[in-house]
Structure 1
Amino acid sequence: MAKSNSNTGQQLKKSIMFSISIAVITFVLAAIFSVISSTIMNGVIWGVGILIVLIIIFVGIFFDTLGIAATAAVEQPFHAMASEKVFGAKEAVYIVRHADRFASFCNDVVGDISGIISGTASALVVLQLAQVFGHGEGSAVQITINVLMTSVVAALTVGGKAIGKFFAINYSTNIIIYAGKILAIFNNRPKLKRTRK
């Protein structure tokens, strides 16, 4: 009984530490991406701004799909691939074994940050469009454009994630093996060797 309580305490401690680290990473990434997106959006026309908003939405959908695929996938197919020396199979096993953390990063960190930034970016596009039509902030035209833009962004985000969930659940093995291949590329990249003088 004491051993069980000790294990529970250790798991709780690990969970709290992971939650804190994720919160810090989210804070840093959100700040960086917000500055980058705001800087880019301020220097482009509204048409390019809309394209940037769409890209941000797509990034959120993509990572949401990855996170769900990780939780839906099972290890056995990747073990078989690893025994056949399939590139990225070992990394795919790692992803599935740590699906909770992988999904937390993909869905909660990248996914939520994308949602927040797409909202901020779309607000800047609305202001640009209102100025194009010769109306200032708070005008009926600006409010109408804001409502339309918000609705379109929400519809694309929710609809895209719904489609992403379908693919994540039904093609989880294919998605995770490709994610494993990408991880393997980063893990196997050549390291710079120190040259002797």
Structure 2
Amino acid sequence: MDNKFRKSLKFSISIAVITFVLAAIFSIISSSVLTEVVWGIGLIIVLLIVFTGVVFDMLGIAATAASEPPFHAMAAEKIPGAKEAIIIVRNADRFASFCNDVIGDISGIVSGTATAVVVIQLANVFGHSDGSTVQITLSVVLTSIVAALTVGGKAVGKFLAIHSSTKIIFMTARVIAWIESNFKINILSASTKSTRKSR
């Protein structure tokens, strides 16, 4: 029990550090990019950030809902992506933590920051200074729209993740397999090590 707790604590700390670094990087990049573009492009960027959060939330849930047997059959036939899918399912807790907690939460935070930048740009277009009624109204409207799209999108994503988990994980695994083979990046290296140890 102590050993499991230590492993869990170590993983939690590493995830927290990764989240801190990625959140800082994404916030800086998004803020610097948004200040250089018109509000219309900025709004599209905000929607892309929201979409990213929704997709990764769906992937995390699909990993916990999927089961191994269908992928073992695919692996026996040497179908690309099958082995990666097995690794994802076997390490569903870690995969879900990364997708839901790291990428999902960062997307939510960054989308909020990005929305604030777009609001300021729109307020400047209308010629209203900080704290004006127009800016407050724009802030409330855009924030509400982003929140509604995020919650609504995640609700749809959860439905798809639960009812099509095998397809979603297999598609994800094939993308990961393609990236690993073409760019020589070991995306699932940590998961592979933990899987081998558990055998």
Using the size of structure 2 for normalisation, the TM-score is: 0.90
Asked whether 1:48 is paired with 2:45, we answer no
2: CA distance between counterparts of 1:94 and 1:85? Answer: 15
2: CA distance between counterparts of 1:163 and 1:187? Answer: 29
2: CA distance between counterparts of 1:123 and 1:189? Answer: 38
Superposition pairs of residues 101-116 of structure 1, within 5 angstroms? 101-116=94-109
**Superposition misfits of 4+ residues, deviation over 3 angstroms:** none
Superposition pairs of residues 71-90 of structure 1, within 5 angstroms? 71-90=64-83
2:57 matched to which residue of 1? 64
2:165 matched to which residue of 1? 172
1: CA distance between counterparts of 2:42 and 2:56? Answer: 21
What is the letter of the counterpart of residue 183 of structure 1?
I
2: CA distance between counterparts of 1:139 and 1:10? Answer: 56
Using the size of structure 1 for normalisation, the TM-score is: 0.91
Q: Secondary structure at the match of 1:137?
A: coil
Deviations 1:87-122 (A, max 9, x none): 100110000000000000000000000000000000
Q: Secondary structure at the match of 1:85?
A: coil
Match of 2:8 among 15, 38, 45: 15
Superposition pairs of residues 109-128 of structure 1, within 5 angstroms? 109-128=102-121
Give the RMSD, CA atoms, in angstroms: 0.9
User: Per-residue deviation at 1:190?
Assistant: 6.7
Task: Give aligned pairs, total.
Answer: 184
2:128 matched to which residue of 1? 135
Counting aligned pairs with the same residue, the percent is: 65
2: CA distance between counterparts of 1:10 and 1:187? Answer: 32
Structure-2 change in CA distance of 1:179 and 1:148 (3 Å)? same
What stretches of structure 1 of length at least 5 have no aligned partner?
1-7, 192-197
What is the letter of the counterpart of residue 108 of structure 1?
D
